[in-house]
Amino acid sequence: MIVEQLYTKCLAEAAYYIESNGEVAIIDPMRETDQYVEIAKNNGAKIKYIFETHFHADFVSGHVDLAKKTGAAIVYGPTAETGFDSIIATDGQEFKIGAITIRLIHTPGHTPESSTYLLIDEEGNENALFTGDTLFLGDVGRPDLAIKSDLTREDLAGMLFDSLRNKLMGFADETIIYPGHGAGSSCGKNMSDETVGTLGDQKKTNYALRENMTKEEFVQEVTTGILPPPQYFPKNAQLNKLGYESFESILSNGNKALTIDGFISEFEQGALILDVRHQDDFVKGFIPNSLFIGLDGTFAMWVGALIEDLDQKIILITEPGREEETITRLARVGYSGVVGYLSGGISSYEGELYTLNSISPAEFEKADRENVVDIRREGEFTSEHLEGAEHYPLDYMTSNIDHLDTKKTYHIHCAGGYRSVIAISLLIQNGYTKLINVEGGYREISQTKIPKTNFVCPSTL
């Protein structure tokens, strides 16, 4: 028996390859599916089933493409309805993979169709639980991502409590837990950096599994502090439910070198210029009207938060050699509109480049700090911030783009210097011109003598 976790760090997502006697199951595959086909081919095995734990919201799964390539059956749990051929399994239904068995356990709560898969090994031992977004290490799935459901998040949280207590916690403590995500995912609040654990450890350390916890306490704790989901979440869930354009088609359409004339022509026809270089390079020179979201940061999350139309035509500015990576990572979160990239990168642009006014924390300490804008998340801001700073979180900037005064000068910072450049590029696109980036973000600013506080004024957003 082979069990391999295939972890995609930028999305904090875990897919699983399970093999026995030449037969394979894939759980929650990523959008680019050749990796699974290649592993099976190298092992002389055949992919038989594709198990989906639920309709994912934070990424587009590769289930549809993988099924077309291999003939494998797609399996979902009870209540799921799909726009493609699939097996809607019953609670407790079993599937044979060589000499092992996979049993579906319906565990609604994160979403109504959410299911966990139990691996029963060759000797009949209940070896592992693939919990998807039902149970993470250190946390459980947020209960507010159901697709067009009449159920409230409190309803779903109550269902999740029952699923955990009545379906999962009765397994042996040594049962291995293979979760769907790790730290960094937006599908939970308190996930561990670890990506494999045991049920016994989770009973000891996971707040949601503590002994003698009432359902009312569970619902209160699980629903407290949940921020609104990124705008692309329900759109990705619909793609996973109904089907989508093949990844290979998206890659073929987007991986095209554009001359400067072709690049400008696409822009004039409505394409968005997306610059994915490092923020330090963007600050030194960028094409007017570019949106910066660097590949080396939390790229997919910020693309999903700030580019509202999944079909938006996009033209890329990348470091040479990273074009295909960029298209792939956009496709993972549902963006299929890339039409090409500027051949030769930024050095090929013949017009005037803009630069950002950027200062060090030491220079900021000496500056007139009348208008300071902190674009970090709410928890970061409330923990500690500069006295007098205005909170204007990047997560919701697109829906509050006219919040600031275009006639005023603002010093803008985040935590480390990545998000502030994203924010400034977005604001420049919308008519702001007097913006100063504070390098290094709050981590470095906090080392200065500028007064700080954790007092929070009522939000104006």
Tell me: the pLDDT tens digits for 318-352? 999 999 999 999 999 999 999 999 999 999 999 99
Domain stop point among 348, 381, 400: 348
Do 88 and 194 lie in a common domain? yes
Going by C-alpha positions, the residue among 145, 128, 126 that lies closest to residue 54 is: 145
Question: Token digits for 42?
Answer: 């190298």
pLDDT band at residue 366 under the 50/70/90 scheme:
very high
Do 298 and 396 lie in a common domain? no
Query: Distances from the Cα of 427 to the Cαs of 300, 310, 397, in angstroms?
Result: 20, 21, 9
pTM, two decimal places? 0.93
H or E element in which residue 457 lies: none
Distance of alpha carbon 93 from alpha carbon 100, whole angstroms: 14
Domain annotation covers residue 300: yes
Do 71 and 181 lie in a common domain? yes
pLDDT tens digits, one per residue of 274-327? 999 999 999 999 999 999 999 999 999 899 999 999 999 999 999 999 999 999
pLDDT tens digits, one per residue of 75-96? 999 999 999 999 999 999 999 9
pLDDT at 267: 97
Residues found in the chain: 461
Is the pLDDT reported for residue 459 higher than 70?
no
pLDDT band at residue 259 under the 50/70/90 scheme:
very high
Do 121 and 158 lie in a common domain? yes
Is the pLDDT reported for residue 195 higher than 80?
yes
CB 448 within 8 A of CB 364: yes
pLDDT tens digits, one per residue of 229-244? 889 999 999 999 999 9
Do 394 and 449 lie in a common domain? yes
pLDDT tens digits, one per residue of 388-410? 999 999 999 999 999 999 999 99
> What whole-number percentage of the chain has pLDDT above 90?
89
b/e burial code for range 339-368 (CB count within 10 A of at least 16 → b): bbbbeebbeebeeeeeebebeebeebeeee
pLDDT at 147: 82
Domain annotation covers residue 460: no
pLDDT band at residue 192 under the 50/70/90 scheme:
confident
Is the pLDDT reported for residue 224 higher than 80?
yes
Domain annotation covers residue 253: yes
Is the pLDDT reported for residue 143 higher than 60?
yes
Is the pLDDT reported for residue 461 higher than 60?
no
Please report, to the nearest 10 degrees, the dihedral formed by the alpha carbons of residues 422, 424, 430, 434 taken in order: 180
Do 138 and 164 lie in a common domain? yes
Count of beta carbons in the 10 Å neighbourhood of residue 21: 12
Is the pLDDT reported for residue 30 higher than 60?
yes
Do 10 and 76 lie in a common domain? yes
Domain annotation covers residue 362: yes
- Give the CATH number of the domain where residue 198 resides: 3.60.15.10
Domain stop point among 179, 202, 235: 235
Domain annotation covers residue 30: yes
pLDDT at 385: 97
pLDDT at 189: 67
pLDDT at 367: 92
Do 210 and 70 lie in a common domain? yes
454 vs 426, residue with greater confidence: 426
186 vs 457, residue with greater confidence: 186
Q: Which of 179-188, 250-259, 317-326, 445-454 has the lowest mean pLDDT?
A: 179-188
Counting the structural domains of the chain, the total is 3
456 vs 132, residue with greater confidence: 132
Question: Token digits for 449?
Answer: 């003598």
Is the pLDDT reported for residue 458 higher than 70?
no
pLDDT at 453: 92
pLDDT at 228: 84
Domain stop point among 189, 210, 235: 235
pLDDT at 457: 58
Distance of alpha carbon 261 from alpha carbon 349, whole angstroms: 10
Average pLDDT in the chain: 95
Do 338 and 389 lie in a common domain? no
Is the pLDDT reported for residue 39 higher than 90?
yes
pLDDT band at residue 246 under the 50/70/90 scheme:
very high
- Mean pLDDT in residue range 264-272: 97
Domain annotation covers residue 459: no
Do 320 and 437 lie in a common domain? no
Distance of alpha carbon 384 from alpha carbon 442, whole angstroms: 9
Do 301 and 383 lie in a common domain? no
- Give the CATH number of the domain where residue 405 resides: 3.40.250.10
H or E element in which residue 49 lies: strand 46-51
Going by C-alpha positions, the residue among 380, 377, 372 that lies closest to residue 394 is: 377
Query: What strand order describes the sheet that includes 23-27?
Result: 2-8, 13-20, 23-27, 46-51, 73-76, 87-88
H or E element in which residue 34 lies: helix 34-42
- Mean pLDDT in residue range 385-389: 96
Count of beta carbons in the 10 Å neighbourhood of residue 171: 17
Domain annotation covers residue 240: no
pLDDT at 73: 98
The helix/strand/coil state of 197 is strand
Is the pLDDT reported for residue 64 higher than 90?
yes
Domain annotation covers residue 461: no
Is the pLDDT reported for residue 225 higher than 70?
yes
Do 180 and 69 lie in a common domain? yes
Q: What angle (nearest 5°) sits at the alpha carbon of residue 119, between those of residues 114 and 122?
A: 160
| Structural domain span for residue 58 | 2-235
Question: Token digits for 256?
Answer: 């095209």
